[in-house]
Structure 1
Amino acid sequence: MKLPKIHQKEPSKIELKKGKNYAWCSCGLSKRQPLCDGSHQGTDMSPTIFKVEETKEYYLCNCKHTKKHPFCDGSHSKI
């Protein structure tokens, strides 16, 4: 798999907790979008592991083309 599967062209608004590890799905195959469920197994892709510095709601990318993994940067508007 060279390009990720576009899950949807809108970000997910999700509350994330400060200091917790998260795994953002970069392949677009996860059934738990926008987070990873291991569906990338067998591809050359892997999730982006990240933490946030503040507990609040964030917009995570679902088109998988953001330049600011895992956060939405508006790339979906260009697809």
Structure 2
Amino acid sequence: METYSYSNITAASAAPGASGCSVLYRRSARDIPCTSSSPSRPAIATKHPYQVDLKAGKRYAWCACGHSKKQPFCDGSHKTAAPDLSPLRFQLDEAKSVWLCGCKHTKSPPYCDGTHKEEFIQKAELPGQP
């Protein structure tokens, strides 16, 4: 079983975590809080989290690049807009309502940790806005 490390979390692939979430895949260089449009850093998709109702056992792909038009989920935009970033694929063991990160700079992906309240996020220009 492979183990992936991301910021302050480490999860074994396809192994249920303490939160009832199975992390299926992760590859990213998102540790640096930056609003740059560099392809290796996420774009800030929005300055708030998304409340979503998730089903047990269903596989989800959380957008990690910030370019998806189907936020907070991946639509494949990273393939051209940010090829160095990949979505976080996960599934829950039980159905629940959760807050998924919209700013893409959380330290607990895919969940919101309040990073969107920080000044660098609040002062950032969003893609497609002047």
Quickly name the TM-score band, shorter chain normalised. Answer: over 0.9
Q: 1:1-79, aligned counterparts within 5 Å?
A: 1-42=39-80, 43-78=83-118, 79=121
Structure ranking higher in strand proportion: 2
Secondary structure, counterpart of 1:51 in structure 2 = strand
Structure 1: distance between partners of 2:72 and 2:108: 14
Unaligned runs of 5+ in 1: none
The two structures have a TM-score, normalised by structure 2, of 0.59
What is the alpha-carbon root mean square deviation over aligned residues? 0.8
* Shift of residue 53, structure 1, vs aligned partner: 2.2
* Shift of residue 54, structure 1, vs aligned partner: 1.8
Regions of 4+ moved over 2 Å: none
Q: Based on CA coordinates, which of the two structures has the bigger radius of gyration?
A: 2
Unaligned runs of 5+ in 2: 1-38, 122-130
Count of aligned pairs: 79
Q: What letter matches 2:49 in structure 1?
A: P
Q: Aligned residues: percent identity?
A: 53
